[in-house]
Chains A and B, each alone.
Chain A
Amino acid sequence: RKEVEQDPGPFNVPEGATVAFNCTYSNSASQSFFWYRQDCRKEPKLLMSVYSSGNEDGRFTAQLNRASQYISLLIRDSKLSDSATYLCVAPRDSSYKLIFGSGTRLLVRP
């Protein structure tokens, strides 16, 4: 089992739709998780941090399910500008190293 696993997509949705991505992780001791957004040929940018059961920021909601070892990212009212690759990230251990998933690609169409 990969340490962090994501569905690569692409998820192709119309503007205004709600879309959700799941990500599974293998290290049950992990306490904090992150979602990064990466645009084509750009650097990853931190979108949300998830330290407890979940986090909400505007149209974006991240939830953590420790029992099943997955985190999810929900995007409501999708915008064209949300088109990007979303990376799920978990700590590798206590040394401040991170494990990045391969990413889920989102395409929002007009």
Chain B
Amino acid sequence: DAGITQSPRHKVTETGTPVTLRCHQTENHRYMYWYRQDPGHGLRLIHYSYGVKDTDKGEVSDGYSVSRSKTEDFLLTLESATSSQTSVYFCAIGGGNYEQYFGPGTRLTVT
């Protein structure tokens, strides 16, 4: 399995609070991705990174920001959490051949 971890694995937070999710990899892959998965929608790309300090938006980026200051870490921040952001968040890494490997996921509940 690819060396990719996510933290926290579970989180419950209140509406309006900021939340940061962390993705850490030990594979030295260039590309990192944040997805959310919801029933009826499948996996949707939030943001991705193609190198340190190089990031771009995905299809559902509103309300989210990301940062990548080191190759191994990719942070996803919900600036002011809303109930619609209750979801399962997956981080993925890729080496440039389109294959992506996923972390174990973070279950986020916004009350």
Give A residues with C-beta under 8 Å from B.
Answer: 32, 34, 42-46, 49, 87, 91, 95-98, 100-103
Contact = CB atoms under 8 A, between A and B. Distances in A.
Contacts of A45: 102
B43 interface: yes
B42 A96 contact: no
Interface residues of B, number: 23
Interface string B29-54: 00101000000111101001010000
B42 A102 contact: yes
Nearest to B30: A96
Dominant SS among interface residues on chain A: loop
Interface of B: 31, 33, 40-43, 45, 48, 50, 56, 58, 90, 94, 96-105
A87 B43 contact: yes
A95 B49 CA distance: 10
Contacts of A34: 98-99
Nearest to A85: B42
18 contacts: A42-B104, A42-B105, A43-B102, A43-B105, A44-B43, A44-B102, A45-B102, A95-B50, A96-B48, A96-B94, A96-B98, A97-B33, A97-B58, A98-B45, A98-B98, A102-B40, A102-B41, A102-B42
A91 B40 CA distance: 21
